[in-house]
Structure 1
């Protein structure tokens, strides 16, 4: 279980508040869709929750352990449990899908991965198992630069799993994808929650959030205005977060 208390994130020398007093709790098996107008703070929220941004204020608890207290950054121990999936996943285009899964995200060397204890960089079978599980076995030896957008997203998901993530924050993972590819990516993310008890929080268009997610957060100007479970948003809900 992860609990966030009074998260505040500011930029421009603390002059501009991007996230304002966010307090939430979420746990294993949840797939949460984050919706809101452009500029509402969705990407920043995901990066903060995945411990990729320094907090100006707030507390972060993971199963009762203090990860962030009063602001700051989480330790590598906890960052390694989180994955931040970008709209266009960062990969080595001249390396194969398999090697991208094994090496990890650009800028993080295999040696660093070994030193932090996340996975062995040569865990070939584990990587192949994940690629097969998500329909990518035939792409294992294809260079990442030749993969489609949906395939790159699924490779990024496999990479996160192989490197030990139990919480995945996906930033607009279906933007630019055709409907079939988008559905394949979202079905993959949903299976992680239902079959492996992972946590997935994704910034999504409302129609996909309502279709795939068990819970929806609505953001407006950096404030969490909605937190609803098990239902679609009402017209009043949509007006509240400027999506009407």
Structure 2
């Protein structure tokens, strides 16, 4: 069974929900695997997660680190989180006070990792030096490729396609595959949209719906590569929410 976990808005508690789902199914004796196909980390706004990256010397989502410890699988972090982007703070003085750059995630992207390949987005002179120097410690002994800002979107889309194949393999290897979406994306890649069940996380409440129903709503909403979860749930209007994720798991997932 493939369970997709999505969030209405960002930072609403998707990873907490994933952890509880993983623990519940493992407790029932199922083989469980986890994946976060796409992940983005803003080093300025998530300082603790950024410090964790510097500590382990790997460009990987801190959410993946948390859940992988529960799964205790054999898969490499690059497989559990095939596409990762690191955003660094822009030095406004260096970009002639172009404040619109603060609204562009692509312009703030410094490093992209697709599986084991690492790409550095130039020019690096646009970033605050103290943050850049810390990242360069990890890059120092790595084989890297340099790309221009204009290539970032195409690069991420190619990674998204590659993550589909990884998800197919993980699904074949486990009885339960739990997939966490990124931010408020309605789905991280095409394969994840083939979910049997979709858990929708909102501030303070959790919902679940049938995967086919969710797919149809996504198609009505436009099925864009970066479709927002908000656009899908406005069509779905899910009912019977739970304030406790454990109750949802017991009544809606384990019994199915």
**TM over 0.5, shorter chain:** no
Q: How high is the TM-score relative to the length of structure 2?
A: 0.36
More strand by share: 1
Q: How high is the TM-score relative to the length of structure 1?
A: 0.37
Q: Greater Rg, structure 1 or structure 2?
A: 2
